[in-house]
Amino acid sequence: MPRYQAVLFDFFGTLTRRVQRGAAHHVTAELLGCPVDTLTAVLDRTFYQRASGRHGTAEATLRWVCAQAGVQPSDDAVRAAVASRHRAIRADTRLRDEAVPALAGLRHRGVRTGVISDCTHELPAFLPQLAVAPLLDVRIFSVQFGRCKPDPALYLAACCRLDVRPQDCLYVGDGGSQELTGARRAGMTAVRLAAPDLAGHLVFDAEQGWDGPVIGSLSELVDLVDAVPAAR
């Protein structure tokens, strides 16, 4: 049996390539009657409030964002903007070429897999349509869970659902939200993904000065798991 019984992944920037807001986000701003720079600034400033789900549904959250931005769109405009934002975030999401092979390789070895993501309402809605979905045994979304990384409760919830101990889990992430420190504090082994494309990645509260293991590609992950001797 492998040393690690489960590998848990961050989503954006880890299972996906770097994320940058594309042109489709301009449509959302236009629907809301809000300058795109103003909307972007509010979205950046309120990410963790939104990602923790504290403002309710996607529509209620976007209405709250509009209030922060000083605009008052109609209900129809808000509904259209919610759909537009969903499309825009989906368009920004491109899986890494090695994501599916890495997940499949781990599962072939009997290692369970999961994702822990700080995210807003869009990811839980479209992840089931992605190629990685059948290869994930557990999905922890901050917007549904009510807390964001590095809160240990997210990591421990994943362990509970997988019925594994934290010390038997490997966590892989690009380092946003202080997630690696959070995983380590929860009792896991944490590995930073430092892929070349992550320059310019949209990230909040990035991990600084990480002193733990680092890989340059998800392709290295299966070899890393294989290289660690089984616990006796």
Identify the three-state secondary structure at position 27: helix
Number of helices followed by number of strands (H, E) in the chain: 11, 6
pLDDT beyond 80 at 1? no
Q: What is the pLDDT of residue 119?
A: 98
Residue range 106-154, pLDDT digits in tens: 999 999 999 999 999 999 999 999 999 999 999 999 999 999 999 999 9
pTM of the entire predicted model: 0.94
How far apart are the C-alpha atoms of 12 and 50, rounded to whole Å? Answer: 16
CA distance 28 to 11: 23
Render pLDDT for 150-199 as a digit per residue (tens, 0 to 9).
Answer: 999 999 999 999 999 999 999 999 999 999 999 999 999 999 999 999 98
Q: Which residues pair with 170 in a beta bridge?
A: 7, 189
Q: What size, in residues, is the chain?
A: 232
Helix (H) or strand (E) holding 60: helix 58-69
Place of tokens 């290869």: 135
| 6-19+94-227 placed in CATH 2.60.40.1120 | no
| 148 HSE (CA, 13 A, CB side) | 18
State residue 16's pLDDT score.
98
Sign of CA dihedral 181, 183, 186, 188: negative
**In angstroms, rounded to a whole number, what is the distance separating the alpha carbons of residues 72 and 147?**
28
φ and ψ at 186, to 5 degrees? Answer: -80, -5
Per the CB < 8 A criterion, the answer to whether 154 and 145 are in contact is yes
**Res 3: pLDDT:** 81
Confidence of residue 2 (pLDDT cuts 50, 70, 90): low
Q: Which token pair is 110?
A: 């009997």
Give the model confidence (pLDDT) of 18-70 as tens digits. Answer: 999 999 999 999 999 999 999 999 999 999 999 999 999 999 999 999 999 99
Helix, strand, or coil (residue 214): strand
In the beta sheet, which residues pair with residue 113?
A: 7
Give the 3-state secondary structure of residue 170.
strand
In the block, tokens 């092979």 appear at 101
pLDDT category at 230 given cuts 50, 70, 90 is low
| C-alpha span between 209 and 77 (Å, rounded) | 44
In the prediction, which pLDDT does 226 show? 84
Strands 138-141 and 169-173: unpaired
With bands split at pLDDT 50, 70 and 90, how would you rate the model's confidence at 224? Answer: confident
Residues forming CATH 3.40.50.1000 domain(s) in the chain: 6-19+94-227
Tally Cβ neighbours within 10 Å of residue 214.
Answer: 13
Q: Is a pLDDT exceeding 80 seen at residue 228?
A: no
Q: What is the predicted pLDDT for the residue at 225? A: 87
The predicted structure's pLDDT at residue 232: 43
pLDDT at site 231: 53
User: Which position has the higher pLDDT, 222 or 147?
Assistant: 147
